[in-house]
Each structure stands twice: as C-alpha cells, then as structure tokens.
Amino acid sequence: GENVEQHPSTLSVQEGDSAVIKCTYSDSASNYFPWYKQELGKRPQLIIDIRSNVGEKKDQRIAVTLNKTAKHFSLHITETQPEDSAVYFCAASTGNTGKLIFGQGTTLQVKP
Amino acid sequence: DAGVIQSPRHEVTEMGQEVTLRCKPISGHDYLFWYRQTMMRGLELLIYFNNNVPIDDSGMPEDRFSAKMPNASFSTLKIQPSEPRDSAVYFCASASQGGSYEQYFGPGTRLTVT
C-alpha cells in the first residue's frame, strides 16, 4: 500500500526566513497531495493541495511543488511569521477513493 | 454550514468500559473518515465510508473497535472494552467527490482511558 515519508520531523527558523518540508510517496498511482496545518490542540486544516497534472501551486506565502518522476513533493513557506508555528502534515491519495495516507508530521517553530 | 461535528469533545473512562464517539459530517458529503492521533503513531486512518458503506477498515486496530454509519448524517466509533492504550484524539473527517475529495476535519474527541 501507499507509504508517505516526511522530513524533517522538526524545523526551527527565524521569523522572515523560509521553511521547506519534504515528502516522498511510494504509490506511483497517487495523484492528489494535500498539506494540512495543525495548531496545538486544534484540528488539522487544509492549507494547500496539488494534483498530479501540475508541478507547482502558490497561495500567497505558501507554495507546493511536485516531482512525479521522483515521487516527492514539498511545501515552501516564505517570509515566515510566528503564527506559522504548528505541525504540518503532508498526505497522498490516488484521488478516486478519497483515502489519504499521511506523513508523520513536521513541527515548525518560527522564532520572533 | 457548521462543519463536521463531533461529540463528546472529551471523554474520560475507566478500563473495560464501552466508549462511543459520534460524528455528524458536513451535509452533502458522501465520504466519512475516522482517524486516531497519538504522539507515537501520528495520524492513522481507522476506517472510511462512502455513501454510508464501509469501504476500508484495514486500519481498525482490533475487534474491540467497531464503526457504523446508519445514515448520511451520523456515524459512531465504538470501543468495547476500552484499554489505556486507546487513549488518543479521535478525529472524524468528511469529503465529497464533487469537492475533489478535500477532507474537512471535526474538532476531535480526546479520549482518556484510566
């Protein structure tokens, strides 16, 4: 079955710097890759997603890139702010079942 | 829309007791997912339903866990008997094929088994 590996497990950056989180997946049939942000004690919330027919997608300070050949995708956060501090999860899905397989999560700390 | 609704938000019970967690998905969503989150194991998919039918229950840890979806607006996850290692946050999420399968999570139920 699908397996998603996420790195790093923790990431600490200075406010204003960029942060990059990387994920690899095993099932070449996967075609939907969402990213979720989970603040302490809250629910995971979708922040951005990408489908296999595009290589990059941006939404203000966040962007996701996808390399289907290498089977990896990344989340990029620019001009980080303290409110970006949270746990970020990547996930992968074949898209025709709705079933998501999540990575292990990355705890991002943005120091003011 | 009120979003995905879960109850109770917190549950403390003693080992051996039956626990029932409840979920109301977003109206019109045809997929419902149950997840368990722990520090050690992360976010695990337990089971999911499509149009009220269980599709994949391979993540259900053992026979003590069962889930039902009697109609499109209600699902339960039951643990009987409960054990301390079941302590976790249980999330319900819903999605729709028409919405390209974007999953929306409920607020979760924090279960503590003593």
Tell me the nearest-neighbour CA distance from A94 into chain B, angstroms. 10
The answer to whether the CB atoms of A99 and B103 lie below 8 A apart is no
**Per-residue confidence in pLDDT tens, chain A, 112 aa:** 789 999 999 999 999 999 999 999 999 989 899 999 999 999 999 999 998 888 899 999 999 999 999 999 999 999 999 999 999 999 998 766 778 889 999 999 999 9
Q: How many pairs of residues across A and B have Cβ atoms under 8 Å apart?
A: 50
Q: Does residue B98 register a pLDDT over 90?
A: no
Q: Which of B103, B104, B110 to mutate to test binding with chain A, by most A CBs within 10 Å of its CB?
A: B103
Q: What are the tens digits of pLDDT across the range B13-23? A: 999 999 999 99
Higher per-residue confidence, B112 vs B41: B112
Q: How far is CA B93 from CA A65, A84, B20, B110, in A?
A: 25, 23, 17, 15
Q: How far apart are the first and last CA of chain A?
A: 41
